[in-house]
Structure 1
């Protein structure tokens, strides 16, 4: 945010003659603290010197709030500031519930809604033929709402959940242990993890203790491209994981700005000392303790060779969301203040006016990214499909293997490069996770009592019936002039069969027929010759009756 603001303030094209200021608060992951600092931003006062030299205070309400990172705090804060129509732009809160403008009228975000992510995950699972999966979610608005949409879409696509469990990082150990036992007892080999990165931290530690390998993980954008989680996975439990990630981004100059800590040293000496000592595992001379850290900090250590979470730029796409949020506010102010060569500083700024203008903005960043919001305050939904591929020295590379674009037609939204995928246990073979194997033609599906629709038995079609498709729910009877083939997957026409005189049965039947004919002819001749005799006449051969 500081990088974007300084870039704007040094620009002659955007808001010329106007400088943007900012206040920063750390909510420390607390919803209550988040509401408190939001109210401080909205209702804050600043001290200035009047003409008389006597210090005075005046209202210093911010025009826009950038943040929060998680969905639940955003819902709470947006509910509080919503009636004042103060814009709130989040870079990482993805709960689909936040798109409801009746509840959160001033909320916007630069990351897509989970409505699209959940549907994309369901289509990804369907693409690989996984119809029997397990699910773990964070027990908050992010996880519960995201999993609800996934479950609904999965049912429409014929996917069944063997189990769906939730937990929060502060839950007691027994609850997480129960989840691990559920995974062990399951028959599904694919696990959908709709978890925040903090909850995934907790879960991966517990999974490592139990060495729970052999499962294919499908992850949400919150953790799938998190290098810290990859570093924690020392037992390679998540190798081959696949999931959705915010598209990669690059903001020129940002890395150099982050690694330049001179401003930090001059603005907050205590924070700089703590940061520097942690970064280089050393102590400054006046604070040096030979028992704990014998190495002395000089303050001139080279950061270019440091490899840790601070110098890791894998989260550049998230940084880019913050960057776009700041620029959205700047472009809105640029329009409101009618800036050309100079800006009209006499315009009375109103939060509702700024909110309406932000909703209508459209611009491109210096890197060419398009920035705009729909009527719900959401950006266009595009995701990269990430695959965890292990490399040498236990390093995991996040490889982009596909793309999901919700703006395209349904048949073109998902594209994948199957030949570059690596699956669990570092194999090239796509894992199989089904409750029952497909029923071949010639059989029909019969659901197993008390189990999901994905669990069934395959019963062979009855006599005179066929099924010619896979997973048929019923068999069809052949027409009278047809009968089933041996596999009972097609009806074939009945053939007329004739007996040959050369066959024993044919010869016997022919002889019997001729014998019968001769006997009949002989009896007829005898009756004709002796037709006047009483015996023949008694057989009613003479039908004339005498009166």
Structure 2
């Protein structure tokens, strides 16, 4: 249990799919989400093995390793996947990996290690989290940014900062921390506390968001609009009695839910009966006692079914298994009646799924429970003009976030020295200057300096018939000229 050199769950087949999940970890023991992914993978493989449509007469096996949330364990598990447990010190490697594809991991940093290790050996890796990032802004020009200090957070934040610059969004601060760095976390909290930005782009994993949420709640820092990513936006472990004060109204992209037919029953009955024999109550032999001791950590998960209706990340594992199997079906030249050509050497092949996301909003339902309400979607399979849909009327909003309020007509924007372009003062028009637009960068009509006044007087005197004081002013130039003529007439 938890030894990365040996699979946590395994079954031999003609072709085998490997997987790396962090079922046990230092922070949480055990991980419901990753264990559910393991269940989903086995469910999909058993479903395929029962089918005659995919890989007929070819059985699919699996080897699922527990990385225990450790980068070092990830490397050990990866090496074990590539070599196979049958290779001992005296055996000779034949150059053919027992695994035809690997699914994993649940964090980008670990997946980078996995991909770089398996790449030279041509073993394809299907990621659970597609490398896709979008964020949302609704006229928010002044934001803060915080990210996990790992590949997932750093790469995502780099994309966001570049996009923000292109879109004219000013970033007041960009800070980062890792879950094992409490001092850096405190500095992040202090930065948020002192800032004026009300919108925070949080490119965090659920672990870092949990730590940040805890500190923001302790210091009673509220009134923030969080923009989230798939790493935490639908994480149920973030729902606490005080979390809504901080995360209420949060918006972000989540992996789209998909209903896997029959999976709920499988989770409750079939999986525990077939894979974890200790879950059966009959019998009292010593072997049964040994089995129970072996599986005691996993048995903590036996009655956990709260996340089954969500089916977000688990559905990605389901689709990943089918992507691999469809590739193998093609490579082995399978036909429904004739079966597959087992003797063929399988060359490297990759599989991927189309990016499909829901936009979710943290809201409360009628009984006060927190829910993740779908308020839109992004679907890369649709035409470009139909991919992104957002129902703004269904969104619970938080305050506006700007560095400076708009400058009204009669003023212009003046940059504040040493601050971003979103921060400015509003300077009133001087006498003879006119600005009739909101957020004007210049006074539009600076017509009436001394020289212009002299020319206006001369024009009125030479052609007085052109100025009719009985009509409405249509143009500022004419208005001033008419006013001048009236004053001149009165003086006479």
Above 0.5 in TM-score? yes
Aligned to 1:158: 168
**1:439 aligned to 372, 391, 407, which one?**
407
In 1, the alpha carbon distance for the partners of 2:382 and 2:418 equals: 39
Aligned to 1:77: 114
What is the Cα deviation at residue 323 of structure 1?
Answer: 0.7
What is the Cα deviation at residue 400 of structure 1?
Answer: 0.6
**1:495 aligned to 463, 482, 485, which one?**
482
Aligned to 2:369: 395
Q: TM-score of the superposition, structure 2-length normalised?
A: 0.75
**2:275 aligned to 239, 264, 282, which one?**
264
Instruction: Tell me whether 151-160 or 402-411 shows the greater mean CA deviation.
Output: 402-411
What is the Cα deviation at residue 231 of structure 1?
Answer: 3.7
Does residue 1:22 correspond to 2:62, yes or no?
A: yes
Q: RMSD in angstroms over aligned alpha carbons?
A: 3.1
What is the Cα deviation at residue 416 of structure 1?
Answer: 2.2
What is the Cα deviation at residue 326 of structure 1?
Answer: 0.7
Does residue 1:448 correspond to 2:457, yes or no?
A: no
What is the Cα deviation at residue 271 of structure 1?
Answer: 5.0
In 1, the alpha carbon distance for the partners of 2:274 and 2:148 equals: 37
Q: SS at the partner of 1:24?
A: strand
1:201-256 deviation per Cα after TM superposition (whole angstroms, max 9, x unaligned):
22222222222222111111111011121247456321121111111211111121
In 2, the alpha carbon distance for the partners of 1:169 and 1:137 equals: 11
- Distance change (3 Å), C-alpha of 1:141 and 1:57: closer
In 1, the alpha carbon distance for the partners of 2:372 and 2:435 equals: 45
Contact 2:331 2:346 in 1 (8 A): no
What is the Cα deviation at residue 264 of structure 1?
Answer: 3.3
In 2, the alpha carbon distance for the partners of 1:43 and 1:247 equals: 35
Instruction: Tell me whether 492-501 or 437-446 shows the greater mean CA deviation.
Output: 492-501
What is the Cα deviation at residue 443 of structure 1?
Answer: 2.1
Aligned to 2:322: 327
Aligned to 1:469: 437
Aligned to 2:334: 339
What is the Cα deviation at residue 490 of structure 1?
Answer: 7.2
In 2, the alpha carbon distance for the partners of 1:175 and 1:39 equals: 33
Contact 1:35 1:77 in 2 (8 A): yes
In 1, the alpha carbon distance for the partners of 2:118 and 2:248 equals: 43
Unpaired segments ≥5 residues, structure 2: 1-40, 279-290, 458-473
Q: SS at the partner of 1:335?
A: helix
Aligned to 1:252: 261
**1:241 aligned to 250, 274, 279, which one?**
250
Contact 2:150 2:178 in 1 (8 A): yes
* Alignment of structure 1 residues 182-197 onto 2, 5 Å: 182-197=191-206
Does residue 1:203 correspond to 2:212, yes or no?
A: yes
What is the Cα deviation at residue 495 of structure 1?
Answer: 2.3
In 2, the alpha carbon distance for the partners of 1:235 and 1:317 equals: 22
Does residue 1:225 correspond to 2:225, yes or no?
A: no
In 2, the alpha carbon distance for the partners of 1:8 and 1:201 equals: 37
- Distance change (3 Å), C-alpha of 1:170 and 1:414: same
1:45-90 deviation per Cα after TM superposition (whole angstroms, max 9, x unaligned):
538xxxxxxx999866211111111111111121111112111111
Aligned to 1:88: 125
Contact 1:208 1:235 in 2 (8 A): no
What is the Cα deviation at residue 478 of structure 1?
Answer: 5.6
Contact 1:135 1:191 in 2 (8 A): yes
Contact 1:87 1:351 in 2 (8 A): no
For the pair shown, the structure with the greater C-alpha radius of gyration is: 1
Unpaired segments ≥5 residues, structure 1: 48-54, 93-110, 281-302, 360-372, 374-378, 425-430, 484-488, 507-547
Contact 1:445 1:474 in 2 (8 A): yes
In 2, the alpha carbon distance for the partners of 1:194 and 1:403 equals: 19
In 2, the alpha carbon distance for the partners of 1:154 and 1:408 equals: 25
In 2, the alpha carbon distance for the partners of 1:413 and 1:61 equals: 40
Does residue 1:141 correspond to 2:151, yes or no?
A: yes
Contact 1:227 1:314 in 2 (8 A): no
Does residue 1:423 correspond to 2:393, yes or no?
A: no
* Alignment of structure 1 residues 473-484 onto 2, 5 Å: 473-477=441-445
Q: SS at the partner of 1:188?
A: coil
